[in-house]
Amino acid sequence: KEMVVKIEREVGVIDILVNNAGIIKRIPMCDMTAEEFREVVDVDLNAPFILSKAVIPGMINKGHGKIINICSMTSELGRETVSAYAAAKGGLKMLTKNIASEYGEYNIQCNGLGPGYIETSQTEALRQESHPFNDFIIGRTPAARWGTPEDMTGPAVFLASEASDFVNGHILYVDGGILATIGKQPKY
């Protein structure tokens, strides 16, 4: 709250909030402690709730605002060793829809971006050519590659702009088509 007050005092009301912070712990669920689970949920779900709650009153007073939550395609698909991450991102997807539902009448749009597998420091170890997961992702993704941070730019600009003023509660998946298919057919 103090941060938002300071920003509003020094710069003005926040027009756009991007909830992008996130962590992942690749631990099998039965080996994960409740504390480790909560840590992921605190960063990936509770923090966007707290930040959104802090900026919405100013957006209401100003008469418009954009909230973009960085969700994940993992909110749609399960995968081993990421139970806390998937649960938090699934919760963030639903928080996105609820903010849109509750505050849309105030000209506030809350949408999400759902990245697929993106080349980041979090995925560096998985992207090694010798790692079987690298081949799995390339083979499973119709674009036949990992996404780049630059692949997220256009969709983020769209959701932050007036072009999306009538888009609300939507998760835009930027995943190279991975959610559209059960996988590529093996070549014979």
Maximal CA-CA distance, the chain: 64
d(CA 23, CA 28): 16
Annotation says 173 is catalytic: no
d(CA 127, CA 166): 37
Mean pLDDT of the 142-169 span: 97
* Coil vs helix vs strand at 81: coil
d(CA 97, CA 167): 11
**Percent of the chain whose pLDDT exceeds 70:** 99
AA identity, residue 179: L
- Pick the catalytic residue: 85, 103, 117, 173? 85
Which tens digits make up the pLDDT trace of 23-54? 999 999 999 999 999 999 999 999 999 999 99
d(CA 184, CA 168): 32
Let me know if 23 is exposed, middle or buried by CB neighbors in 10 A (0-12, 13-18, 19+).
middle
Domain extents in the chain: 2-180
Which tens digits make up the pLDDT trace of 82-98? 999 999 999 999 999 99
For the chain, give the mean pLDDT: 95
Which tens digits make up the pLDDT trace of 114-155? 999 999 988 998 899 888 999 999 989 999 999 999 999 999
Contact 86, 133 (CB under 8 A): no
Topology of domain 2-180, CATH? Rossmann fold (3.40.50)
pLDDT band at 188 (very low <50, low <70, confident <90, very high): confident
Structure tokens given for 29? 């669920």
Residue whose token pair is 């590529």: 184
d(CA 177, CA 188): 22
